[in-house]
Amino acid sequence: MKHLILSLLILLPFVTNAQKDVTKFLGIPVDGTKSEMIQKLKAKGFKSSYYDKEILEGEFNGAEATIMIQTNNNKVWRIIVSYSNLSEQNAKTRFNNLCYQFQNNSKYYSAGADYTIPDSDDISYEMSVNEKRYEGLYIQCSERNLNIATDDYSKHLFDNNYDANKIVWFALLQYNPMEYSIAIYYENGYNKANGEDL
């Protein structure tokens, strides 16, 4: 009996960690402390910016990007990847390319939504006058389910109450009529604020 209890006590931390499937960014779980995350991202080649050592810069998905880390109760809950100083046409092209990449990546699920910006949209007008938002929302699939066929995966997600704590979304942001940025948010919903500090 003592051996059984001892074995369970030894295995409990491993079982607990194995059950918590969190969002990953570049293969790194969006979890832990900010300093730990910074070190892991630096190991991937990112460098601290000259104006803030907690903001990182480097290449992501083929372009220079800024990486910011948000925490709640000293635990990482969000990684933000930002592409800045984009013209209207570059912003539209990059946004639509992200839609295509996420839509065609088996690591993500989109419920079949098409978030691309139509060629006919004047995004400056739509965003400033009509207050239109351009966003894409995806769910990062559990690694243990990546081998499920795509058609079966949508049924699997909804039949099993998919994990809405593994959200990856992106948005087109307008700073002025001539300058845009795109921000991609990798979120671990298990660590985000849920009003516990109110």
Q: What is the pLDDT of residue 14?
A: 41
Does this model's pTM top 0.85? My answer is no
Nearest residue to 127 (alpha-carbon basis) of 179, 168, 183, 185: 179
- Return phi, psi of residue 78, to 5°: -150, 135
Q: What is the pLDDT of residues 7-59, one digit of tens each?
A: 444 444 444 444 578 999 999 999 999 999 999 999 999 999 999 999 999 99
pLDDT of residue 194: 84
The Cα angle at residue 145 between residues 155 and 158, in degrees rounded to 5: 25
Q: What is the pLDDT of residues 107-128, one digit of tens each?
A: 898 877 899 999 999 999 999 9
In the chain, domain spans: 23-188
List, edge to edge, every strand of the sheet that includes 75-86: 47-48, 56-60, 63-72, 75-86, 179-188, 166-176, 135-140, 108-109
